[in-house]
Amino acid sequence: MKKISRWLLCLLCAVIVISCSTVAFTGRKRMLLYSNSEISSLSTQSYYEFMSTSAPSTNVVKTSMIREVGNRLAKALDSYLAAKGESHLLDDINWEFYLVRSDQANAFCLPDGKVVFYEGIMPVLTTPDMIAVVMSHEMGHAIARHGNERMTQQALSSIVGAVTGQIIGLKTSESGRVLFETAYAIGSQYGYLLPFSRKHELEADEIGLYIMAIAGFDITQAPLLWERMAQAKTTSVPEVLSTHPSDSKRMKNLEKLIEQARKYSNKAAK
């Protein structure tokens, strides 16, 4: 049994080495065990489940604002990455932008690139630049493959638990059950249902700021908007903030990144 455990540990180490990659724009090293196409297909299923209980907004003006801002960001990002020979960073991401009827102040992006805004967030987002702040942040989560990374972390902790369980002589059936549940509960555990970690939020802020700059939006709106939303939190808590922690550290981080982001200004290939 000990031999098998050692072999499994070696295999795990090999998987870790093979699965290492870097996050687009920030260069942070991370591990992804799932393929983009796998995640994308789960993501699409999740979208249809969500839409079966939601209705598209009937507000034509706001719906077209969402689409216009989204398409401008997506087009600029696409041509920027294509010019750098890095189009693979968008593999299995097909951007689509929706506005749904709901009083919640929220927005999310599924790993396959479907971005959904709730009507309740629109009163705060009065200009295309403000919409672009939230939109590019959400797109940042998808480009950074944060959903895949979180699933990987969950799966790995279960695998490590299973291997360790064998080493210390726990019943393997128990470890196997945990692994099974982790693998099969993923459909309901990624994307908008679980809040991202603070690290992922700050990274999505950073990537979002660069995408805004590439598409020629006003990046100085980013710290201002999150501050405004944080203030609004004192009266009614916007959902987008309950999963997207906003504090002075976050605002300071964005302000610090403004200069860096200017280097990307209007860098989309014409």
Residues engaged in binding Zn ion (CB under 5 A): 201, 204, 244
DSSP for 161-192, written as a single string: HHHHHHHTT--HHHHHHHHHHHHHSHHHHSGG
Q: Give the 3-state secondary structure of residue 118.
A: strand
* Shortest distance, position 137 Cβ to Zn ion, whole Å: 6
Q: Smaller CB distance to Zn ion: residue 163 or 212?
A: 212
Q: Smaller CB distance to Zn ion: residue 50 or 166?
A: 50
Catalytic option among 138, 149, 201, 239:
138
First to last CA, the chain: 61
- Report which residue's Cβ sits closest to Zn ion: 244
Q: Smaller CB distance to Zn ion: residue 201 or 239?
A: 201
Residue 140 has which token pair? 């940042």
The whole-angstrom distance between residue 13's C-alpha and the CA centroid of its chain comes to 26
* Shortest distance, position 247 Cβ to Zn ion, whole Å: 14
* Shortest distance, position 173 Cβ to Zn ion, whole Å: 38
Contact 70, 137 (CB under 8 A): no
Residue 166 has which token pair? 């064998």
φ, ψ of residue 91 to 5 degrees: the values are: -55, 135
Quickly list H helices, 185-238: 186-189, 198-214, 221-232
Q: Is 138 a catalytic residue?
A: yes
Q: Smaller CB distance to Zn ion: residue 119 or 201?
A: 201
* Shortest distance, position 134 Cβ to Zn ion, whole Å: 9
> Residues with catalytic annotation?
138
